[in-house]
Amino acid sequence: MGSKGIEIVGMDVKQLLDLLNKAFADEWLAYYQYWLGAKVVKGPMKEAVIAELMQHAADELRHADMVAMRIIQLGGTPITEPKQWYEATGCGYDAPNNPFVEVILNQNIKGERCAIGYYKKLLEMTQAKDPVTYNMVLQILQDEVAHEEDLQSLAEDLEFMLKK
């Protein structure tokens, strides 16, 4: 925690910390959803889908790391109890109970769309108020936009394949 670094934040730091902890919970749940999805997924194009899900899982874990570091910089504490992820989450968790590729892809597309919406909101809230958080959120948002596109193009290929 650095005093001057916190002083330059032109918004309510406590409120910002709550918003960041929400993102932190979302990232862990997204990580787990991808990680487990990659283990259980079945069906056509399985290998390509597994590779993508594993890559995304690694990205979500990296996002959790980035958000945790920023929370600590701001004098806060990242959620210490995993059971609190469920209370804090905005985008939730979709258990991969149905392992069919199409279902797994759609669950994760839904998650990415939620993440894009949330980070866009966070970007607007921090713009011109907290450049450090803004910059971090922008980097994460860029990844989430790429994630949605990766999954959607896999889902399109799968659709072609299933129609033949």
Contact set with Fe ion (CB under 5 A): 27, 60, 63, 144, 147
Q: Looking at beta carbons only, is 146 or 162 nearer to Fe ion? A: 146
Q: Looking at beta carbons only, is 60 or 130 nearer to Fe ion? A: 60
- Report helix, strand or coil for 42: strand
Q: How far is the CB of 163 from Fe ion (least distance, A)?
A: 28
Q: Looking at beta carbons only, is 52 or 60 nearer to Fe ion? A: 60
- Provide CB contacts within 8 A for 99, sequence distance 6+: 40, 41, 42, 43
**CA-to-CA distance for 148 and 119, rounded, in angstroms?**
14
Closest CA to 15 of 131, 130, 106: 130
Q: How far is the CB of 120 from Fe ion (least distance, A)?
A: 13
**CA-to-CA distance for 9 and 125, rounded, in angstroms?**
12
Judge whether 52 and 107 are in contact, CB under 8 Å: no
Q: How far is the CB of 18 from Fe ion (least distance, A)?
A: 18
Q: How far is the CB of 143 from Fe ion (least distance, A)?
A: 6
Q: Looking at beta carbons only, is 17 or 29 nearer to Fe ion? A: 29
